[in-house]
A and B are shown apart, each in its own frame.
Chain A
Amino acid sequence: MPATFTRHQVETERRDTGYGGKPPLDRRPTGGGGGDENWDSRPSGRRGPRELLMRYRLAVLSILTADFVFFAVLISVFFVRPTDGHIDATAGFVSDWHPLSVPPILWLNTAVLLLSAVTAEIARRQLFHEIDIMEEWLGLGRPAVRRAAPWLLATVALGGLFLGGQWVAWHQLAQEGLTFATNPNSNFFYLVTIAHGFHLLLGLGALVFALAAMFRFKRVERRQIAVDCSVWYWHAMGVFWAFIFALLIFSQH
């Protein structure tokens, strides 16, 4: 049921022109000519070419905050769980936390993921390359997209490779007889890697979406947002993985 705000339209409705008619460049207005360039004092929707981008970045930041807490809680298991144990029949304290030898392929996966972060970053920067963007904005072809696409494609491929590598790692562990339910450490290993893999799968979806968006979206700013946000998310997942991996390698006790 729609609400009825009994509100009169006293002011003539101002059209939301979006970006103040400025090209979406990665450069802050520096003043000195151009009059009042203080975007923040303008009405919402007219705060400069980067307004929409900043809005989406803020949303990604919030999502990543939620993800950060989520992973922090999962990782707390790694520190709390080894201290749990029970008193056995002979009154000895038994901890069932056994070190888990991480499959060596994870080193390779980590390298692949780090590499993908580099390619993602290169792709992202192409979308903010001033001259190319100016051309795109003026409608003179899509040089930025043309340059960014291969890098983004490479990122998707490397991301897929990483997930495939994770699959192999799980498979290898299962061959050793370590499955999800085997022991507390394998509980943790599978939980955190699957949770991370799921997040990465979402990131992969975002990258594919960004790839499609680069060719389908008509407005330059939208193309930038799609690529920028998915790449920042990808970076965060890379950082999360680096931390998890370091934990798995160096903190086994």
Chain B
Amino acid sequence: MRWLPPNGALHGFALDRLLRWNLDVVFWLFAASQVLLVIALVWRRRVAGADTPVPSRSLATRLLTEWLPLLAIAALYGWMLVTGHQLWAARREAPPAAETVRVEVTGVQFQWYFRYPGADGRYGAVQPELINAPQGNPLGIDPGDAYGADDVVSSILMLPAGHAVDLTLRSQDVIHGLFIPGMRLKQDAIPGMIGHLQFTPTVPGRYSILCSQVCGLGHGRMQAMLRVVAEADFDRWMAARERAALEAHTASSEAAR
């Protein structure tokens, strides 16, 4: 399992355990079946010649050699289904956490943008007509909307360790796939739809954010950085960014006036 990237999310430990268990079982089944194939290859000459009649098989033998393995395998699949479902239900069918750090993730060819709602806790409205990346408004935030004044738009995802996070997934153009291997997270950002993804980062560090759904010629370089930091560091970073956002907002509205 050294192949898996280091896990930094709360749910990732259970997922890794489940994945490891699954891979172990499947690997040994694979190995056993290949050994059977090799035995059949090597052993075939020892089987008696063509004149031996087909052995008639008793009911007990047939139950043992034919139905028992099938039942065992079906039971294994059932067990996989149940354990997998437990994890899935805990992740997706449970009610969302009440207190979350909220971040809106927007996929654009070929860039991820992360928007924090700011001190007021609400995102400003976005309008597709206002999208203008060269002039510093890649998300099309409506300058007339007061809620948008303190919205922080970032190209890295900064999160405090130990807090539940709620990601709002959006896309401007085509389907992108938000994939954070270190957080064991993946969900598509589908244009026209709003998706939600909840998780809790626990281990501070740097994690890469990738795009997992082919989205255009820059698909391979559509990457961003997730930084999980201590809460105090996060608050400091957030405050600085909010201040900068407010200043920029005031400046631009004065210029507009």
Which positions in A face B, CB cutoff 8 Å? 84, 86-87, 89-91
- Count of residues in B whose CB is under 8 Å from the partner chain: 7
List 10 A–B pairs whose Cβ atoms lie within 8 Å, in order of A's numbering. A84-B192, A86-B192, A87-B194, A89-B125, A89-B126, A89-B127, A89-B142, A89-B145, A90-B125, A91-B125
10 cross-chain pairs, A with B, having the tightest CB-CB distances, nearest first: A89-B125, A86-B192, A89-B127, A87-B194, A89-B142, A90-B125, A91-B125, A84-B192, A89-B126, A89-B145
Q: Which residues of B contact A84 (CB under 8 A)?
A: 192
**Bound form: Cα–Cα A91–B123 in Å:** 10
Q: Mark B117-148, 1 if CB is under 8 A from A, else 0.
A: 00000000111000000000000001001000
Q: Which residues of A contact B126 (CB under 8 A)?
A: 89
CB distance from B62 to the nearest CB of A (A): 33
Q: Which residues of B contact A86 (CB under 8 A)?
A: 192
Q: Which residues of B contact A90 (CB under 8 A)?
A: 125
Q: Mark B167-199, 1 if CB is under 8 A from A, else 0.
A: 000000000000000000000000010100000
Q: Which residues of B contact A87 (CB under 8 A)?
A: 194
**Bound form: Cα–Cα A90–B127 in Å:** 10
**Bound form: Cα–Cα A86–B193 in Å:** 7
- Which A-chain residue is minimally distant from B145 (CB atoms)? A89
- Which B-chain residue is minimally distant from A87 (CB atoms)? B194
**Bound form: Cα–Cα A87–B127 in Å:** 11
CB distance from A81 to the nearest CB of B (A): 12
- Which B-chain residue is minimally distant from A85 (CB atoms)? B192
CB distance from B123 to the nearest CB of A (A): 9
Q: Which residues of A contact B145 (CB under 8 A)?
A: 89
**Bound form: Cα–Cα A90–B125 in Å:** 7
**Bound form: Cα–Cα A168–B187 in Å:** 48
A84, A86, A89, A90, most chain B CB atoms within 10 A:
A89
- Which B-chain residue is minimally distant from A86 (CB atoms)? B192
- Which B-chain residue is minimally distant from A90 (CB atoms)? B125
CB distance from B27 to the nearest CB of A (A): 40
**Bound form: Cα–Cα A252–B69 in Å:** 54
- Which A-chain residue is minimally distant from B126 (CB atoms)? A89
**Bound form: Cα–Cα A171–B142 in Å:** 42
**Bound form: Cα–Cα A127–B115 in Å:** 74
Q: Which residues of A contact B142 (CB under 8 A)?
A: 89
**Bound form: Cα–Cα A91–B126 in Å:** 10
Q: Mark B189-230, 1 if CB is under 8 A from A, else 0.
A: 000101000000000000000000000000000000000000
**Bound form: Cα–Cα A84–B142 in Å:** 24
**Bound form: Cα–Cα A84–B194 in Å:** 12
**Bound form: Cα–Cα A90–B194 in Å:** 15
Q: Which residues of B contact A89 (CB under 8 A)?
A: 125-127, 142, 145
- Which B-chain residue is minimally distant from A88 (CB atoms)? B125
- Which B-chain residue is minimally distant from A84 (CB atoms)? B192
**Bound form: Cα–Cα A89–B139 in Å:** 13
CB distance from A199 to the nearest CB of B (A): 31
Q: Which residues of A contact B125 (CB under 8 A)?
A: 89-91
Q: Which residues of A contact B127 (CB under 8 A)?
A: 89
CB distance from B225 to the nearest CB of A (A): 29
**Bound form: Cα–Cα A87–B126 in Å:** 10
Other than the known A86-B192, A89-B126, A89-B145, what 7 A-B pairs have Cβ atoms closer than 8 Å? Answer: A84-B192, A87-B194, A89-B125, A89-B127, A89-B142, A90-B125, A91-B125
Q: Which residues of B contact A91 (CB under 8 A)?
A: 125
Q: Which residues of A contact B192 (CB under 8 A)?
A: 84, 86
Q: Which residues of A contact B194 (CB under 8 A)?
A: 87
